[in-house]
Every structure is written in structure tokens, then in C-alpha cells.
Structure 1
Amino acid sequence: MIIRLWSRRRAEALAGKGFERGGAASGDAADDPRQPHGGHGLRVRPTSSWFATAFSVGLGLTLAYTMLETVLRISGILTLLLLALFVAISLEPVVAWLARRRLGRGPAVILVVIGLLAVLAGFLALVVPVISNEISGFAEAVPKWLKQLHDHHSTLGRLEDRYHLVSRARAQLGAGAGQAVIGGLLGAGHIVISAVTGTALVVVVTVYLMVGMEQLKRFAYRFVPLSRRAGVVGLSERILLRVGRYMLGNVITSAIAGLATFLWCVALDVPYAAVLGMFVALMDMVPVVGSTIGGVVVSLVALAVSFPVALGTAGFYTGFRLAEDYLIMPRAMTYAVNVHPIVTVVAVVIGGALLGVIGALIAIPVAAGLGIVLEESVFPRIDTM
């Protein structure tokens, strides 16, 4: 009894000095090959290493910073890929409808791509001759304007005599005029090349996503546990259906804007009515800023007729913009995606602030998807608590 009591007190004393039962009692016992991991003796209590902790934290912060820098560098590419995914999801109902008509998914995708290319070709066929004619007219008018600058009896000549526009322009440009022109040309060339490559990337990725949409969805669903997979699949399919309806509603409102523009231009003899109508229809598909840009362009073209016509055109687009924002678009979006008008406006503003035009374009479908998730997954769980 005395020996047992002494052993217990001895073990407690050693534990207070950094030892505990279950390991080696000393360095010799720890090095004993008969007890490589400690037997029933005493084991040294492990202590945390500040160096290892600091190294782990530093490594984690370094990796996080590197990942953030990488994401920021490729943010433009990621935005284009997101746009391609959105376009592929938006066209999925059309592709699926054609595929159910015994065409197969490949031919259905080909037909959709051909249709889009036909629309683009028609737009270019209308726009390119107009632009080339305007450029030719501008090039022919420049020598006449230069001649009028030296004619003291013309309007441009009187303005030159009074304000000395040419001399002021030369003084502002100075010796760096050539470099400024070259820099401007290089910058414009870079913008054009970036736009062409970005468009090509979006088109190619969109085609690949449309072809492999079913395989992509099946692959994504495999990350969901089998017990919950059926519910997730049903929820995802409803979200994709809402996105398709949103695009249909957006196309309808854009077609209304383009038709209204065409009729207005024809009624007031504004030139290039068909081109302006198609341009406004395409721009109107971009929420918030698209219809405004289209209205400004049409109003500027209307100056070729007269200032009152341009002023009336600006008033027409102001009224049409208000009607579209508060009457046409909310009703169409409520039917298409069942999103409240307030949520529509807030989603577009937030999406535009985060990702610009692309964010505004995908904001309403994202809001519709979040609404479905809340209504069918989050709120039922909260109600059962």
C-alpha cells in the first residue's frame, strides 16, 4: 500500500516537470530501441513551436496574396469566361428544343450558331456601307473645311479670325503632336485587337459549352451527395429555365425598342432608320446604360435633319426610357423570371458596379436564381425551426 502511494506521488511530481505517463522517462529511455515510441513509462509532453506556427501563418498569407494577385491579373479573362457561360446557358433552351426534334445536340448547336452569325452578318451588311460612306464624305469635306478656314467671308473663316483656333491647336499640341497621334493610333489599335480577341474567345468558349452542356452538368452534379442530388438537379434546372426566360424577355423588350426607333426615324425622315433600329435593339439588351447610349446616338444622327428634330428625338427616348424601365421591363421580367421590380433595379445596379456591363447583364438571372434557392431551400428550413 505504501509503495503504491509513493509511485502515484512520484508520477504526479514528474508530470508537473513536463512528463506524463505513456512515454519514456528520460532521454536514455526515449533512445531505447526496445521502446521506440514509448511503452508504459513516462512520455515528454509535446510543446508548440512558435517557429512552426509563424512559418505556417506566413506561408498561408503568402499563398493567399499570390492567389489574389493571380485572380486580379486574369480578371478580364474570367469575366469573358463568365459571359460565355451566361450566353451558353441562355441559349440552352433553344438548343434543347432543337435537340428534342431528333436533330441531335451537335446539329442543334450548329443551327443556333448559324442563326447568330446570320444576325451579325445582317447587322454588318447594314452598318458597314453606312460607315464607309460617312468616312468617304468626311474625307472629302476636310479639304473644303480647310479652305473655308482661310476664307474670311465664310463662317469658319470668321470663327478663325476671331478665336484663332488653328494657332491655339498648334500651341496645345506643340512638338509632341506626332507622338500624341502615334500614341492615339496605337491605343486605338490595342482596343480593337482586344475587342476582336475577346469576342473570338467568347464565341469559341460559348460553342464548346453549348456542345458539352449536358456533360458539364452531369459532372457538376457528381459533387453533390447522392442522397441530395435529385433535389439539387431539380433546383438547378429550374434556375436554368428562369435564365432562358429572362433572355426571352430581354429579347422582346429590345425588339420593341428597335421597332420604335425604326418607326420614329421613318416618320421624321431621320437617315439610316434600319441601321439605327437594329443598333438600338442590340444596345437595349444591355441593362441600365444600353438604351441611353442608343438614344444619344440616334439624337446625334437626328441633328443631320434639324435641331428641333434632334431635340424631339431626345425627348422621345427620355419618355421611352422611363416607360421601358417602369412599365415594359418590370412587367416582362416579372413574367419571365418572377423577380420583383425593386429587386430587378437593385440587382442591376449592384451587378453593374461589380462587373460593369457584363455584371448588369447577368444580375437579374442571378437574382432570380437566389430567389429560387431562398424559396425552396432556405426558407422551408427556417420555418421548421
Structure 2
Amino acid sequence: MPDSRPDTTPTPKDAGTPDSTATAVIEMDRPENGDLAPYGVPGKPLVRGPFLWGLTAALGVLTAWGLAQALVSARNVIVLIVVAMFLAVGLNPIVEVLQRYRVPRRGAISIVFVGVIMLFGLFGLAIVPPVSQETSDFIQAVPGYVQELLANPTIKQLDADYQILAKLQAYVTSGDLGTTVAGGILGAGAVVLDAFFSGLTLLVLTLYFLGSLSAIKEYMLKLVPSSRRVRTRAIGDEILTGIGGYVAGNVLISVIAGGLSWLFLTIAGAKYALALALVVAVTDLIPLVGATVGAVLVTAVGALQSGTLAIACIIFFTVYQQVENYVIYPRVMRRSVDVAPAVSVIAALFGGALLGAVGALLAIPVAAAVALIVREVVLPRQAQV
């Protein structure tokens, strides 16, 4: 007989009841193929989780540390590249001057490069023979120094008390001295070879940069938005002109210092006047302290020859440094770099602390470039705010 109980099946209008919520959850658990998800509803993405965030941060720190270590390991190569580019920019004005006389660029680069090699060769020929001669003279004079020491009453008494000569003889005959000398010779040879290959690499890089300077400049301009290339080109040319003028001016000041030093040392009768004058010229390239370092070295060598020569060196270099600082340097550099004296000192100090003598040499033109960018880019923008 038919069932008279009421039908309790939910109708579509009951979709807002709790049973419909459960049905919606079940529908969410259904994948695309219609089967129920065996492991439930997936949770939130791990992108926002603390574990993945910490892992990403740790990987970022490790990557930054690895890059820093790579930069430190390649520091010598980076310094060579920077110095080579700096020299190429500094020698480029000479190449352009030769081009104005209808010399092809390749020929002008060859002439300039040969001149640079000749300067290096002249420096080596002036320095190496005196050093070799002094070393040979010292080795030949060692027996006489030993005899003079043995004749000294104080040395005789010390030898009688502590057997200094016997211990020295035992050390010489034991083989330890030979090992130490051989190690020192190998170390010095390694330093000389490293300096030679570094200098050769620097010359080759300078040649390549000098030959492709225009192409490098055009390629760098392509990285700038087209709407700003005209202004960027003008600022870049101004920076390159300033660097070239600084290099040329610094070299001119060094040549003046070396020439006057050679003239003074020749008149004063100093030995190896040309070598000492080249030392003054090279050290004078270093800002702030270079001229003082060269003066101290030459005065010390002069003191080994005679006290009168040492006094004359002190007077000459004291007077010359005042003339260079207040007369020669301002006149030569006024058209190349426009940097306040305080900024120059601070830049040279920072550059010397970071990269030594090379950093001090590069610091002033870099400071001039930064000052130009601030004056032409940063300050106008700040004025419009």
C-alpha cells in the first residue's frame, strides 16, 4: 500500500541550508575528471610561507656573498681593466691631435703606443743598471765590512761572550742560509715575473681599448633611452675630455718635476741623476703624497753620497713643491678637472684606501665626473621638485 509519510527530500530552494554547504565542499574536492581528491583540499601556496621566505633570503645572501668573493678574487684583473681604460681615455686626445694632421687612427694609435713602450724602456734602462751596479758593489764590499767588524773592540768582546761568529759560521755551513736565500730569490723572481706580465697585460688592454674606444662609447649609449642619448652623449664627452685633460696635465707636471730634478742633480754632482729624476717623475704622478715620497727617496740616496748633497736636496725639493702646488698645478689643471681642493683631498684619501696608489691616481677624475653628473642631472631635478 502506498506510504502516507511526508517526503523529506530537500528541494532546490533549500540550497542555503548546512547540507548545501557540505555539498559545496564536496564539489570543491572534485578534480577535473570528476573523482574526489584523495588528500583533501590543497592549502595556501608556499610562496607566502615563512620557510620558503627564509630559504629565498638565505639563497640571496649566499649569492651576494659568492659574488663578493668573486670580485675580491678578481680584484687584480679588475684593477688592470680600470687602469687600462683610464690610460686609453687619457691617451685618446693625443691620438685625436695626430688625426687632425691627417694621420689615420690606426697609425696614430701605433705612434702613441710605440711612444709609451719607449718610455717604459727608458725607465727600465735608467733604473736597472744603477741597481745592478750598486748590488754588485755591495757584494764585493761585504768582506771589507766583515773585517772592519772583526777589528772593532766591541764586536770582539761580544764574540768572546756570546760566540757570535761561531754561531754565524755554523748557520752558514748548515745549509739553512742557502735554503733561505734560494727561497728569497724565487720569491723575488716570482714578483718580477708577475710585475712583467701585469705590465704586458696592461699595455695590451690599453691598446685594445684605445682602438675600440669609439665603438665602446657608442655601445654604451645604446643602453640609454633614445630620448636621453643626446644629453648623455654630451655629458659623457665632457667626462672623457676631463679625464684626458687630467692625464695629460698630470703627465706634464711629472715631466716638469723629473726634468728639473735631473737638472738639479746633475749640477749637484749626484750619482745616477737620470735614474733618480725618473723616480721623482713616476712618484709625482700620485696625488698628494707622490711628490713627497719621491723627494724623500732621492734625499735618502743623496745622504748616502754626502751630507751636503742631502741638505741641497732638502732645500731644492721643499722650494719646488711649493712652486708646483701653487703655480704649476693650478695653471695646468684649471682646464681639465673642476674639483674643489677639499673634495680632491677626500677623494684621493678614499681612493688610496681602496686601491692604493692606483686608487689615488683615479680618484680625482672620478670625483670630477661625479661632480659633473650631480651638477647637470641631480641638481636640475631637485630644482623642479
Whether contact under 8 Å (1:347, 1:363) holds in the other structure is yes
Provide closer, same or farther for how the CA distance between residues 187 and 227 of structure 1 changes in structure 2, counting only shifts above 3 A.
same
In the alignment, which residue of structure 1 is the partner of 2:155? 160
Structure-1 residue corresponding to 2:231: 231
Mapped pair 1:344 → 2:339: no
Cα displacement (A) at 1:305? 3.6
Question: CA–CA distance in 2 between the matches of 1:315 and 1:4?
Answer: 111
Moved more, 363-372 or 304-313: 304-313
- Match of residue 249 from structure 1: 249
- Provide the alpha-carbon RMSD of the alignment: 3.3
Deviations 1:321-361 (A, max 9, x none): 45544554355434421212221111111110111111000
The answer to whether the aligner puts 1:26 opposite 2:28 as a matched pair is yes
Structure 1 length as normaliser, TM-score? Answer: 0.82
Summarize deviations over 1:156-186 as a string: whole Å, max 9, x none.
x446335559927956995654443333223
Distance 2:211 2:146 in 1: 57
Q: Residue 71 of structure 1 aligns with which residue?
A: 71
Cα distance 1:105–1:297, how it changes in 2: closer, same or farther (>3 A)?
Answer: same
Q: Which amino acid counterpart does residue 317 of structure 2 have in structure 1?
A: Y
Q: Is the partner of 2:339 in helix, strand or coil?
A: coil
Closer, same or farther in 2 for the Cα pair 1:120/1:33, shift >3 Å? Answer: same
Inter-partner Cα distance in structure 1 for 2:281 and 2:182: 35
**Structure-to-structure mapping, 1:321-360, within 5 angstroms:** 321-325=321-325, 328-360=328-360
Whether 1:366 and 2:371 are equivalent positions in the alignment is no
**Structure 1 residue 255, shift from structure 2 partner:** 1.9
1:119-134 alignment to 2 at 5 Å?
Answer: 119-134=119-134
* Letter of the structure 2 residue corresponding to residue 87 of structure 1: L
Quote the Cα distance in structure 1 between the aligned partners of 2:144 and 2:255.
41
Determine which structure has more spread, i.e. the larger CA radius of gyration.
2
The 3 A distance-change label for structure 1 pair 92 and 4 is farther
Q: Secondary structure at the match of 2:287?
A: coil
Amino acid in structure 1 at the alignment position of 2:113 = V
Q: CA deviation at 1:135?
A: 3.0
Q: Distance in 2 between matches of 1:353 and 1:135?
A: 33
Please give the residue correspondences for 1:60-99 in structure 2 after superposition, counting only pairs within 5 Å: 60-99=60-99
C-alpha displacement of 1:55: 2.7
Question: Given the superposition, is the C-alpha separation of residues 334 and 126 from structure 1 closer, same or farther in structure 2, using an over 3 Å criterion?
Answer: same
Higher relative contact order (CA 8 A, sep 6+): 2
The whole-number CA distance in structure 1 between the counterparts of 2:166 and 2:246 is: 50
CA displacement 1:209-234 (0-9 Å, x = unmatched): 11111111111111101111111111
For 2:27 and 2:87, the matched residues in 1 are separated by: 69
Give CA-to-partner distance per residue, 1:21-50, whole Å, 9 cap, x none.
Answer: xxx95121xx12489xxxxxx998656333
Aligned counterparts of 2:122 and 2:319: Cα–Cα separation in 1: 29
| Aligned mates of 1:98, 1:34 — CA distance in 2 | 83
Contact 1:25 1:44 in 2 (8 A): no
1:93-141 C-alpha deviation (Å, 9 max, x unpaired): 1122223433222211111011111222223333333333323322332
Are 1:25 and 1:43, in contact at CA under 8 Å, matched by a contact in 2?
Answer: no
Partner of 1:263: 263
Q: State the alpha-carbon separation in 1 of the partners of residues 216 and 280 from structure 2.
A: 35
SS in 2 for 1:126: helix
* Contact 1:280 1:291 (8 Å CA) reproduced: yes
Distance 1:6 1:317, change over 3 A: farther
Partner of residue 204, structure 2 = 204
Corresponding residue of 2:136: 136
Which residue of the partner structure matches residue 38 of structure 1? Answer: none
Give the corresponding residue for 1:181: 181
Counterpart Cα distance in 1 of 2:186 and 2:166: 22
How far residue 260 of structure 1 moved from its aligned partner, in angstroms, is 2.6
Q: Percent identity?
A: 31
Indicate if the aligned counterparts of 2:241 and 2:336 stay in contact, CA closer than 8 A.
Answer: no
The Cα of 1:81 is off from its aligned counterpart by: 1.3
Partner of 1:214: 214
The amino acid across from 2:204 in the alignment is V
SS of the residue corresponding to residue 308 of structure 2 reads helix
Q: Distance in 1 between matches of 2:72 and 2:141?
A: 46
- Offset of 1:242 from its aligned partner? 0.3
Give the drift of 1:303. 2.3
Deviates more, 1:245-254 or 1:334-343: 334-343
| CA distance, structure 2, for counterparts of residue 245 and residue 6 of structure 1 | 86
CA gap of 1:198–1:377, structure 2 versus 1, over 3 A, is same
Range 296-305 or range 345-354, more displaced: 296-305
TM-score for both structures, normalised by structure 2: 0.82
CA change 1:43–1:54 in 2 (3 A) is closer
Deviations 1:251-302 (A, max 9, x none): 2221221123123213322122222222211221122332233212211221
Residues 257, 280 of structure 1: 8 Å contact kept: yes
